[in-house]
Structure 1
Amino acid sequence: MTNQASSSSSSSSLLSSLGSVLPHFSLHRATNVLPKRHPALQKFESRLAEKLEALKLAGEELGFLSIDWFLQSMTVVLASHSNVEALIPDLQFPLSDKDDKWMDEYLNDSAKLLDVCNVLKEGISDVEHYQMLVQVALVNLDNRESFSEAKYHRARNALQDCKEAIKTKDTEYKQGQPKSKLENCSSMLRTMGEKLVNPKGIKGNGFLNAIYGAKVTTIFLCGLLVIALACKPKRPLVNLSVTNQYLWSSSLLSLQHTVKEETDKRKNGGSIALLCELDSVDSSVRRLHQLIDRNLLEKKFPLDKDQAGELRQLVEDLSKNSAHLGSGLGPLEQYVNELFRILIDSRLALLDILSKSKKRQAI
């Protein structure tokens, strides 16, 4: 919650600074010279580049694909859309036919991004359900009370339920099985990334370039979160190709390259989930289930000193990993909800302006 409050404060400050230059922003450029970046657009691109660079540094510190890193990545997505939203009130000029076509494509893609938000919320909900099963197991392994064979049985059953929950997510990706919503969502985002249209050369490209930056950032980072919430994702990462005309281009491409290396390393290492904490919890669940199951089958009660020490360490590991994962799921869902709200508000504002523009042209 502290991170979220800090993010909101930073976003408000950024919007205030943008507001001071917006009244002078114009969509029209002379067609016989190469357009210069308006200060508002330059600030937007510079800030986005800085945030992408900071996100790369955060990955090196926090770990790419960790829950904390994804929380920071969502603040980048939200900031990019908030800054575009701040530019909308100044869009009061008629758009050309080419601009209209590009804007229609953006509105269509933003509707798809609303679907992405809904799928992400379902994916987070699935992990929260998995977390609940883990907590059932931990309650039965709480060493503040005396252990009994019955508690071991209940813990083993709960851990088995955890394994089945992960296995069910995994089988949705096997050949012959229907695609899961996460896989369909990943495919849709990858297609959107492949069909990105650069607004370069379109009249009024100052504002449209800002929209393009927010759109590219969202497709990349949300696409990464989608596959991180899946188990053993079969689909490759969204591979974005952008020109170097933007101040943020090199930062995004560098981050994309680094993240791809990390995901390839984790896949080759046998990780069942790309989300670090989810993979760690799953690993702890499997080791703990194996130990308890073996001792129950061999009726080794009470446990000897070495076995009891191993059990205690595994329980501590599972508790720690689960707590870290659980603490991030709530804020992550709040960020997704906020993205959904911003997309709705931006769509309504743009549709209103486009409608007014067409009425002016008709007069």
Structure 2
Amino acid sequence: MSRPQDPPRSFFPFGNPFRMIAPKGTKLPPQLLAVLSDFEATLEERLKNLIPKSEDEVVSLSWMTSAMQALCESHNDIKSLMTNLELPVTDWDEKWIDVYLDISVKLLDICIAFSSELSRLNQGRLLLQCTLHHFGSFSSDQLFQAYSSLDGWRQHIGSKNPRIENCGSVLDNLAGSSDLPKVKKSAKGKVLMQAIYGVKALTVFVCGVFATAFSGSTKNLMDMDVADVYSWAPTFKGLQNLVNEEIRVRFSSGRFTVLNELEAVDLSVRELYPIIQGVVDTIETESLAKTVEKLGRATENFSQGLDLLTKEVDGFFQVVLSGRDALLSNLRSGATVNDHILRGNKDAQVVN
């Protein structure tokens, strides 16, 4: 992971795609308004639950796990909303279909990138466990083996993941397509598009934080301007400002990473590394034992956090994939859908 030198990403070169004016046109009937209100109230509650209670929660693997859970639940809510609206896919405007499929393919790309980074971190965890295993005794041979494993960890964790490095362009495309199609005649369509907009704002924010934490650079951190006409907007802005500001403060102080559990491991490694680096005969056994114990606790917390987050990222991938597959299946069976939509989206490929 590299230390960032990037300025705050507070603007977009071609205007802010998240600036969305209050919906106009078709007035929502009371029943649909209630459906939308319930959806947005649930979204706001999830945003509130993601507000860290202290700076120590930014950015922890447990917070990232909760954020990914919120994404899974919100995207599942979109699928439930489609059912509740009783809006058959065959009645969808072509632009709505394009928006949904475009979002889904970009999210699959991002999930693949995140999964690859979690796999890389898990490989590094094995090196830490090897290091701890070699500290079963403090013989010269075992200390040499521990030193070798620890050196391997430092080289591995300091390397870059090309998929994460390329994640920024995918996020740019996802954010750049955030202007949703205007809905003039369909009240149900307006509810659907407004709900998708809210979930998309949450998605881009969370994915931006993930990409920032994994890359060690603020270049992927997103500052989105959401219109105050949405009931969840104030909560969203509060969450975004708090998390983004803390991340920037940490990076500006020269920290190796903003991931709390990884930072704890790195601090323990820094303490341990010089102790065993070529000065075996002068090692104080008691001091070494305490430092090894500290590294063991940090490694265990890191391991548990990785396991939980990996499970949630895999789950989110399946949520997005299942929703996309369901829509494509319905499109193939719909007689009123134009053939070019089917051909265009059938050939869409997830970037590996």
Using the size of structure 1 for normalisation, the TM-score is 0.78
Check 1:109–1:181 CA distance in 2 against 1; reply closer, same or farther (3 A cut). Answer: same
In structure 2, what is the Cα distance between the partners aligned to 1:134 and 1:361?
Answer: 55
The equivalent residue for 1:5 is none
Q: How do 1:34-113 residues align onto structure 2 when only pairs under 5 Å count?
A: 38-58=33-53, 60=54, 63-89=57-83, 90-92=86-88, 95=91, 99-113=93-107
The equivalent residue for 2:256 is 272
Are the aligned partners of 2:268 and 2:294 in contact in 1 as well (CA < 8 Å)? yes
Q: Does 1:190 find its partner at 2:167? A: no
- Report how far residue 283 of structure 1 moved: 2.2
The equivalent residue for 1:120 is 114
Are the aligned partners of 1:71 and 1:331 in contact in 2 as well (CA < 8 Å)? yes
Residues 241-269 of structure 1: CA deviation (Å, up to 9, x unaligned): 22222222221121111111111111012
Residues 128-151 of structure 1: CA deviation (Å, up to 9, x unaligned): 000100111111113xxx421111
The equivalent residue for 2:306 is 329
The equivalent residue for 2:5 is none
Q: Does 1:359 find its partner at 2:336? A: yes
Are the aligned partners of 2:106 and 2:174 in contact in 1 as well (CA < 8 Å)? no
The amino acid across from 1:67 in the alignment is L
- Report how far residue 321 of structure 1 moved: 1.2
Segment of structure 1 superposing worse, 73-82 or 200-209: 200-209
- Report how far residue 294 of structure 1 moved: 4.7
The amino acid across from 1:44 in the alignment is F
The equivalent residue for 1:162 is 153
Check 1:35–1:94 CA distance in 2 against 1; reply closer, same or farther (3 A cut). Answer: farther
Q: 5+ unaligned residues in a row in structure 2: which ranges?
A: 1-22, 340-352
The amino acid across from 2:295 in the alignment is L
Check 1:254–1:78 CA distance in 2 against 1; reply closer, same or farther (3 A cut). Answer: same
Are the aligned partners of 1:156 and 1:289 in contact in 2 as well (CA < 8 Å)? yes
Identity over aligned residues, as a percent? 30
Residues 42-67 of structure 1: CA deviation (Å, up to 9, x unaligned): 11110110111111045x27611101
- Report how far residue 70 of structure 1 moved: 0.7
- Report how far residue 354 of structure 1 moved: 4.7
The equivalent residue for 1:348 is 325
- Report how far residue 356 of structure 1 moved: 5.8
Q: How do 1:300-311 residues align onto structure 2 when only pairs under 5 Å count?
A: 300=282, 303=283, 307-311=284-288
Q: 5+ unaligned residues in a row in structure 1: which ranges?
A: 1-28, 173-179
Are the aligned partners of 1:67 and 1:328 in contact in 2 as well (CA < 8 Å)? yes
In structure 2, what is the Cα distance between the partners aligned to 1:199 and 1:35?
Answer: 21
What do you get for the CA RMSD once the two structures are aligned?
2.6
Check 1:153–1:207 CA distance in 2 against 1; reply closer, same or farther (3 A cut). Answer: same
- Report how far residue 284 of structure 1 moved: 1.5
The equivalent residue for 2:277 is 293
Residues 153-178 of structure 1: CA deviation (Å, up to 9, x unaligned): 11111111111112222xx6xxxxxx
Between the two proteins, the alignment pairs up a number of residues equal to 311
Q: Which protein has greater RCO, CA pairs closer than 8 Å, 6+ apart?
A: 2
The amino acid across from 1:321 in the alignment is A
The equivalent residue for 2:208 is 223
Using the size of structure 2 for normalisation, the TM-score is 0.80
